[in-house]
A and B are shown apart, each in its own frame.
Chain A
Amino acid sequence: QVQLRESGPGLLKPSQTLSLTCNVSGGSISSSGYYWSWIRQHPGRGLEWIGYIYHSGSTFYNPSLKSRAIIAVDLSKNQASLRLSSVTVADTAVYYCAEGTLVSAFETWGQGTMVIVSS
């Protein structure tokens, strides 16, 4: 049973770069057919997909983030990562990593990590 755990700084100032890590345990991030997504949830709001990566390095992003997001994998550490540049208070949210096959359901989610952007 794959388990995901997100980690990263909980507090940022506007204009800084957010960096989060998703640690994968109980399975390999190189598993064939599985894609690793980042999804966020603004306080009291719905879910917003940020993007996904395959272990080959291929990525796809939500166009609404206007190229601020970069998702990467570190096969040696069995981790995925998210970098979000030029953050604003609107980026305050709980950030989740999730696993699933391409254009299918998100089968496994991490517990999420809260990120607050405040001056």
Chain B
Amino acid sequence: SYALTQPPSMSVAPGQTARISCGGNNIGSKSVHWYQQRPGQAPVLVVSDDSDRPSGIPERFSGANSGNTATLTISSVEAGDEADYFCQVWDSHSALFGGGTKLTVL
């Protein structure tokens, strides 16, 4: 079965750039969606279809997808970006999520 792999955690200083990876076999052939989940809250869609930003999501959030890795990039990281981030794809009519990456802002 298809699997998505994310690093469990990463940390970045304010103002720096965070790049969160999501690995999967030939993931570049799939559409990847990214969600932000702050503690105690429901997930929020921040990037859809590899690189589209929903209305209201800052331009600091961007996405790319190629080969075996999709990447969520958060530029000029702020304290409010501290959260769990999940990637998601569809495979054989089933939605699959990565294990999530906890982003800590130093």
Contacts and interface: CB of A to CB of B under 8 A. Distances in A.
A79 interface: no
Contacts of B45: 105-107
* Dominant secondary structure of chain B at its interface with chain A: strand
Interface stretch (B17-25, B68-76, B92-100): B92-100
Contacts of B48: 104-105, 107
Given A47-B43, A60-B93, A111-B42, A106 B31 contact: no
Contacts of A103: 31, 90, 93
Nearest to B92: A63
A50 to B, nearest CB: 9
Contact residues on A (Cβ < 8 Å of other chain), bracket: 20 to 34
Interface in A96-113: 96, 103-107, 109-112
Contacts of B31: 103-104
Nearest to B42: A109
A62 interface: yes
* Dominant secondary structure of chain A at its interface with chain B: strand
A49 B97 contact: yes
Interface of B: 31, 33, 35, 41-45, 48-49, 54, 86, 88, 90, 93-100
B54 A110 contact: no
Interface of A: 37, 39, 46-49, 52, 60, 62-63, 96, 103-107, 109-112
A110 B43 CA distance: 9
B42 A112 contact: yes
A103 B95 CA distance: 8
A107 B54 contact: yes
